[in-house]
């Protein structure tokens, strides 16, 4: 039996739906939330910015602060994309998902695709830059169906 899934995602939330064989109605099976993606960078970092001191001279010394090398929001976005990719891959390997369409915000879509496993890539039928994570039923099924239809026949 084939199981078609739709992933709606952005850097802070991912919703996984199974498409009902009768008319394509979406049934939510998973809702992942990653609140760290919405936090301020200062809240994500526990380290102080780097510091360096210049050599002492006759006039005293001067200090220099360096910007952090890591973009903490990018790091959190990558971690969430990896979590989603692991979940999808496990579901494909277990046979719970035989077809998947991903609709995600840009640039999160690219981050998700980068981390997809071989099994998930094999069953991926669509990957489109759309953020529908906040859309509720009954509009959700209609909008997803319309977007996927346009993408396949455009």
CB 105 within 8 A of CB 129: yes
Every domain of the chain and the residues it spans: 4-38+71-153
Residues contacting 139, CB < 8 A, separation 6+: none
Q: pLDDT (tens digit, 9 = 90+) per residue, 88-120? A: 999 999 999 999 999 999 999 999 999 999 999
Site of tokens 């210049």: 54
**Non-local CB neighbours of 43 within 8 Å, separated by 6+ positions:** none
Tell whether domain 4-38+71-153 is in CATH 3.30.420.60: yes
Runs of H (alpha helix) within 21-138 = 41-44, 72-93, 108-115, 118-123
Q: What is the pTM (predicted TM-score) of this model?
A: 0.77
Residue-wise pLDDT tens digits, 35-86: 876 655 555 455 555 555 555 555 655 555 555 556 788 899 999 999 999 9
């Amino acid at each position: 039996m084939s199981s078609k899934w739709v992933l709606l995602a952005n850097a802070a939330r991912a919703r996984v739906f199974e498409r009902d064989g009768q008319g394509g109605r979406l049934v939510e099976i998973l809702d992942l939330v990653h609140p760290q993606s919405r936090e301020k960078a200062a809240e994500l970092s526990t380290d102080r910015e780097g510091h360096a001191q210049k050599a002492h001279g006759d006039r005293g010394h001067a200090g220099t602060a360096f910007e952090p090398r890591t973009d903490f929001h990018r790091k959190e976005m990558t971690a969430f994309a990896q979590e989603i990719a692991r979940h999808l891959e496990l579901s494909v390997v277990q046979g719970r998902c035989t077809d998947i369409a991903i609709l995600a915000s840009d640039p999160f879509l690219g981050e998700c695709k980068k981390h997809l496993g071989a099994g998930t890539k094999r069953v991926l039928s669509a990957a489109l830059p759309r953020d529908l994570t906040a859309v509720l039923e009954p509009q959700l099924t209609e909008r997803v169906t319309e977007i996927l239809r346009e993408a396949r026949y455009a």
